[in-house]
Every structure is written in C-alpha cells, then in structure tokens.
Amino acid sequence: MSSFSCQYLDKNETYCIRLKTDCVPGRNGCVLKGRFAFAVPADKRVEEKAKAKNLIAKERKKS
C-alpha cells in the first residue's frame, strides 16, 4: 500500500484523471511539478514507463 495520495489519482492508483494518462508525480501538468525535488527526474520516469508499456504490448502481440 502506498502512502502517497493525490486528488487526481484514480482508484487503482496508477492513472491521472487530470492529465488522462499514467500518474508520474512531477511530470508536465502534474500539480506537484516544481514543488518537490524527486530522486529520479519525472521525464526519466515517464520515459521508463513508456518503454515498459511498449515491451508489454510487444509481448502481448507475440502471444
């Protein structure tokens, strides 16, 4: 269970209702952008999430 909470986080705690995309705290358009320092920059986490989603999509196509 996560201790993180945001009013725009969906009930599965993965999707941003405000931005209509994956929740990546600090990403462009996020209410936290510029308010906190993150150990891993938001842009890098967005990129990593996109790569992971692409890999999953490729694996699903194979099966």
Establish if 46 lies at the interface with ligand SF4 (CB under 6 A): no
Residue 23 in contact with residue 16, Cβ under 8 Å? Answer: yes
Q: Which of 40, 20, 52, 35 is nearest to 9 (CA)?
A: 20
Residue 12 or 63: the one with the smaller Cβ distance to ligand SF4 is 12
Task: Show Cβ contacts of residue 33 under 8 Å, excluding neighbours closer than 6 positions.
Answer: 26, 27, 42
From residue 3 to residue 42, the character string flagging contacts with ligand SF4 as x (rule: CB under 6 A) and all else as - is ---x-xx------x-xx---xxx-x--xxx----------
Binding residues for ligand SF4, per CB under 6 A? 6, 8-9, 16, 18-19, 23-25, 27, 30-32
